[in-house]
Amino acid sequence: MPDGVTPGGPRPLELLALALALAQEAGDLLLRGRAGTVAAESTKSSPTDVVTALDRASEELVGRRLREARPGDGLLGEEGADDVGTSGVRWIVDPLDGTVNFLYSLPNWAVSIAAEIDGTVVAGVVHAPAMGVTYTAALGEGSARNGAALAGSTVTDLSRALVATGFGYTVERRASQVTVLTRVLPRVRDIRRMGAASLDLGAAAAGLVDAYYERGLHPWDHAAGGLIATEAGLRVGGLHGRPVSNDLTIAAPPGLFDALHDLLAADPPADSD
């Protein structure tokens, strides 16, 4: 039995089915909202870190459905939900990952929902309805893109790796990330920036890019996508053997991970974000 799964408790596939249904319902809500006029309602960490009424409506919908289906579960959401719960199951939700893309009618946005049991993520969905793409994973069951099983890239040479990354919202963080990028770009095949961490992790799981790294991610950014990448055979971790954290997230094939890690770990920049 995989770690994090309690005998007699909910099965990962059971939680995955619920996560998928919720992500699809929230995605439909967002698609309908996107058909109208969408404006930034407020900002969070900086003027570029925007939130819309639809971000909040999506999280409220997911929270309400979870309370109906599993009233004892906890919920951590990007837009403020933070309930520990009593069941040992907690849901980690990004109700709209890629809000800036969404505002500009770019298709790279998603609803990301993960379920963890006693701190271990056991199910994850990244649903991108405008792209027609849904990534899914359950602990020990593999991961899939639109139902097709995933296996990440097998590239082992950093110079041949197409690497995805993202940038933070504050001026200080962006400046430090550009400094790192100038060190990485000459050493890899090329860089891609798509604007939604959950979809970057899904793309790495599908082998659409060879690897991904980013600093500044929160649990709702990486919980579902990290499981999807891991179940596709990628190594997902942080700096110096530590788990994924706000400091750094790396997802890469096992044969590429160390080279990318060492490049990123060299003289890491400091910032206040």
- Rounded to the nearest 10 degrees, the angle between the axes of helix 53-69 and helix 12-34 is 150
Does residue 145 share a domain with residue 32?
Answer: yes
Does residue 178 share a domain with residue 92?
Answer: no
Does residue 174 share a domain with residue 254?
Answer: yes
| Maximum average pLDDT range among 5-19, 49-63, 153-167 | 153-167
The pTM of this model reads: 0.90
Between 238 and 37, the more confident residue is 238
Q: For 235, phi and psi rounded to 5 degrees? A: -95, 125
What pLDDT shows up at residue 114? 98
**Which of these, 209, 213, 237, 227, lies nearest to 152 by C-alpha position?**
209
Does residue 113 share a domain with residue 48?
Answer: yes
Does residue 257 share a domain with residue 220?
Answer: yes
Q: For 128, phi and psi rounded to 5 degrees? A: -115, 85
Parallel, antiparallel, or unpaired: how do β-strands 89-97 and 120-128 relate? Answer: unpaired
Q: What is the mean pLDDT of the chain?
A: 90
CATH number at residue 54: 3.30.540.10
Answer whether 182's CB lies under 8 Å from 227's CB.
no
Buried/exposed code over 85-118 (b: 16+ C-beta within 10 A; e: otherwise): beebbbbbbbbbbbbbbbbeeebbbbbbbbbbbe
**Cβ-based neighbours of 118, under 8 Å, separated by 6 or more:** 4, 6, 88
**Which of these, 147, 139, 143, 97, lies nearest to 120 by C-alpha position?**
139
Helix, strand counts (H, E) of the chain: 7, 15
Is the confidence at residue 147, as pLDDT, over 80?
yes
What pLDDT shows up at residue 271? 53
- Residue 87: domain span: 12-149
Q: Is 18 inside a domain boundary?
A: yes
Is the confidence at residue 143, as pLDDT, over 70?
yes
CA dihedral 235, 241, 244, 246 (to 10 degrees): -140
**Residue 163 DSSP symbol:** E
